[in-house]
Amino acid sequence: MRRLLVRHRSEFFLASALFILAVALRLYRIDAYVHFLGDEGRDMRIVRAIYTAGDLPFLGPNASVGGFFLGPMYYWMIAPFLWLWQSNPVGPAIMVAVFGIATVIGVYLVSRMISGTAGALIALLLYSIAPIVVRYSRFSWNPNPVPFFSLIAVGSIYLASKTKQSWWWFISGAAMGMNVQLHYLTTVLFPVTGLSIALTTPIRRWWKAFGLMIAGFLLTYAPFLLFEIKHNFPNHRTILEFVTRKEGAVHPDPLTLVRTFHEVGVGLYRVLFPTAIEHLPAVLFWGSLVFLIGVVSHAIVKQPSSKHALMIVAVWFVGGILGLSAYQGAIYDYYYGFLYPVPFLLFALLIHVLWNLRIGRLARWSLKIGIVVLAVVFSVLLAQGLYIWQGPQHIVRQTRDIANFVLDKTDGKPYNFALLAERNSDNAYRYFFELAENPPIDIQNPTIDPERKTVTQQLFIICEQQTCAPLGHPKWEVAGFGQAEIVGQWYMIGGITVQKLVHFKEK
């Protein structure tokens, strides 16, 4: 090990410095910047019940479209971190940051194996500071670890091919079992990993490769699968109907794929490398595609030893974009998560090719200096989109303080609660009410509660809208309280208003 460090001393120090940068960007003041709204509050309420009430969930978050649920693995993953941080929502955010840091290391190691030192270091630099990558590494949300498990799923196939160790196929399948419980669009990786195995594995070993991959998948997918078996596959049937109906989410028409392939590919580069230069994402995408076709072709003909790695990257890149092109819904930036590492691996390959061109000594050193300067300039441009240039919002602290303020105004008496907001749910506030062991009483429908015992003498409303007019509001938490009048109103930080309502009495 000592000899290795001496031989690669410069690389070691540069990589260490970039790792420190990556860690700092993902953990710097994470408590002040962390995103925590209704969806995150819902997750924390469910996860906290695991260690406070022994209520182990076998369903995960509901998907944003389609009306079905994900598997429970994300909830199981964040439970230890929420417990270790004493129910502070920052704990799960730190878990996501750890996965983000591990992905940075993975991108470097994979780049190092397939492209060499210079390409790996520049890929490490760019991935460490890419604004969208950093952003989704700093708060708790089920799609955020997808880049890590995608890199493991695809990278393990290459390691199985290189090392001839069969257990890498099992790890690839286990990573896929995790992935599909984080976001359903990661199912695009099933044909990607399947084709990668077929291209890099002798036919006589296919049965073993696919068998181990299926075994690994079933291991991590088992909790969700057991739930589905017990309840007659409600989510799987809903997903199948959502995909196969006439106006479903997936429509793999060849003409549609051709038309959307460009849009999806350019969208990936626009998300990862935001720039004011209008056509730069298109140039980067098509340039990467043409370059990839060239190096794969060259490897197949003249460098058979490297062809497996390059073919896997090509299948991941092209197959992933084709898979997203078949999706008919809106494609948001986090949908690309399973593809995030690929453009950086391609940059590493390009730099490796340029770095080792057989040209004159002066030209070679001029080219190397130009590559380094260009990488630094590009990094500076990327860094302008980082969160550090914006002030922290302190959302967790603000939500907790407002919840505690409401509890103080209840005077220890039972209360009802409602949130009026355009794009938020009340779960974040309810989470802190439950932490304080004083949750609100939910007003039940008169058919369930004919004596209206669930209606208390006071209703507290948190209003996140510019105009707060709760009287006569149709939302059930307000309307169910009955005819009321406002007896207290307080203005909080962030433009939020707290109002206290009591039952109206005629004078």
| pLDDT score for 9 | 77
Do 196 and 153 touch, CB atoms closer than 8 A? no
3-state class (DSSP) for residue 56: coil
Mean pLDDT of 234-262: 73
The H or E element spanning position 485 is strand 484-491
pLDDT of residue 259: 79
Take residue 91 and report the two structure tokens written for it: 């704990």
Residue 474 neighbours by CB distance under 10 Å: 6
Residue 107 in this model has a pLDDT that exceeds 90? yes
Residue from 376, 453, 470 nearest 418 by CA: 470
Nearest Cα residue to 240 out of 72, 67, 71: 67
CA 65, 71, 74, 76 dihedral sign is: positive
**Percent above pLDDT 70 for the chain:** 94
Q: Is the pLDDT of residue 243 over 80?
A: no
Q: What is the DSSP-derived secondary structure letter of residue 499?
A: E
Quick one: pLDDT band at residue 250, thresholds 50, 70, 90? Answer: low
Choose the weakest-confidence range: 3-12, 233-242, 452-461, 498-507. 3-12
- The β-bridge partners of 497 are 463, 491
> For the ranges 173-177, 267-271, 348-352, which has the lowest average pLDDT?
348-352
Q: Taking residues 245-273, what's their average pLDDT?
A: 79
- pLDDT of amino acid 64: 66
Point out which residues pair with 416 in neighbouring strands.
459
Question: Hey, which bits of 345-390 come out as E strands?
Answer: none
Using the predicted structure, report yes or no on whether residue 234 has a pLDDT greater than 90.
no
Is beta strand 416-420 parallel, antiparallel or unpaired with respect to 459-463? Answer: parallel
pLDDT at 472 over 50: yes
Percent pLDDT > 90 in the chain is: 68
User: What's the CA gap between 204 and 448, in Å, rounded?
Assistant: 64
Q: Which of 167-171, 263-267, 284-288, 298-302 has the lowest mean pLDDT?
A: 298-302
- Position 128 scores a pLDDT of 96
218: confidence class by pLDDT, cuts 50, 70, 90:
very high
Matching residue, tokens 């707060």? 468
**Is 50 exceeded by the pLDDT of residue 1?**
no
State whether residue 343 is helix, strand or coil: helix
d(CA 502, CA 484): 5
Q: Is the pLDDT of residue 468 over 90?
A: no
Q: Taking the CB of residue 107, how many other CB atoms lie within 10 A of it?
A: 27
Question: Considering the chain, what is the average pLDDT of its residues?
Answer: 90
pLDDT of residue 328: 79
List the Cα angle 343/345/346 in 5-degree steps: 60
Per-residue pLDDT tens digits for 11-44: 889 999 999 999 999 999 999 999 899 899 999 9
Highest mean pLDDT among 162-166, 205-209, 367-371: 205-209
Mean pLDDT of 430-440: 95
In the predicted structure, residue 458 carries a pLDDT above the cut 70: yes
Q: How many residues are there in the chain?
A: 507
On the question of pLDDT at 298 being above 80, the answer is: no
pLDDT computed for residue 260 by the predictor: 87
For range 289-312, the mean pLDDT: 83
Predicted local confidence at residue 66, as pLDDT: 62
Question: pLDDT band at 251, cuts 50/70/90?
Answer: low
Q: For residue 237, what pLDDT is reported?
A: 85
- The answer to whether residue 453 scores a pLDDT higher than 60 is yes
In eight-state DSSP terms, residue 467 is: S
